[in-house]
Each structure stands twice: as structure tokens, then as C-alpha cells.
Amino acid sequence: MGRWVGHFAQGRFVHAGIARSQPLRHEQALGWMTHYAVGLVYAALLAAVVGEGWFSQPTLIPAVAFGALTVVAPWFVMQPAMGAGFMASRTPDPLKNALRSLANHTVFGIGLYLAAAALDSITPLEITP
């Protein structure tokens, strides 16, 4: 991800194969920072979608569903832009890779739920009408 994002500054957004693109200094750090920043944006988006009431009593299903839905970005934007094709269709094992992405994003949804539950147990949100 860091190599892909790093090439944005040069106006390059699509690669035939990201592994064959010019390596960049600090691309690994850039990739992790970008990945976590996107995760924070997704968490804020979940908050906007479910509303603040969910935070006073978080439930698993909305968070897991939202997390699974976020797989749309890698399937239809990142993987094609990095040369892997839609849903990793140009990789040696597309189904395995697409399912791995789905599993990772579902786990992200579980993490969103656990974070909300932990925050609620520490500081319960008081909602007044």
C-alpha cells in the first residue's frame, strides 16, 4: 500500500504490477500509516452511519457488516490499481485472495465492535433526548 500511495505524488495511480513499480523510501511506514488512517476514517464513518445510540449499547452485527462492506475498496479500487485485477482476479489464486480480504475486513468489523464495547465499559455514553 505504501508504494501505491507513495506514487500518488508523482501522479501515478495505476500500476501493471505494484511489485514491479519503483520502490520508494519509507514505503512500508507510509503503507502502515495510510492503512491505520483509513481504518480511523472507516471507524468515523461507522459512527456516522449507526448513530451515537449504538455507542451506548454496541452490538456485533452492525460493526461486522460494516467491516465486511469495507472490502469494496480493496476489491474494486486498490487491487485493480495495483495490477491485481478486480477481486484479485489477476493473482494466481483469486478466490483465496478475495476471501482473505473479506475475512480481514470482517475481523476489522469485530475490532470496531470490541473497541466500542471497551469504550462503553470505560466511559458509558449518556444520551439525553
What are the tens digits of pLDDT across the range 60-77? 999 999 999 999 999 999
* Confidence at residue 123, expressed as pLDDT on a 0 to 100 scale: 77
For residue 127, being part of any structural domain is answered with no
* Confidence at residue 127, expressed as pLDDT on a 0 to 100 scale: 58
| Residue 38 domain boundaries | 2-122
pLDDT tens-digit series, residues 9-57 = 999 999 999 999 999 999 999 999 999 999 999 999 999 999 988 988 9
Q: Are 32 and 5 in contact (CB under 8 A)?
A: no
For residue 129, being part of any structural domain is answered with no
For residue 50, being part of any structural domain is answered with yes
Question: Which three cell numbers, joined as nine digits, stand for 128?
Answer: 439525553
For residue 128, being part of any structural domain is answered with no
Q: How many distinct structural domains can be found in the chain?
A: 1
* Confidence at residue 125, expressed as pLDDT on a 0 to 100 scale: 61
Residue 11 falls in which region: left (phi positive, over 0), alpha (psi -120 to 50) or beta = left
Radius of gyration (Cα) for the chain, nearest Å?
17
pLDDT tens-digit series, residues 105-126 = 999 999 999 999 999 888 766 6
Question: Which three cell numbers, joined as nine digits, stand for 38?
Answer: 483509513
Q: Name the residue type at position 71.
A: V
**Helices marked H in 20-84:** 27-50, 53-56, 60-69, 72-73, 79-81
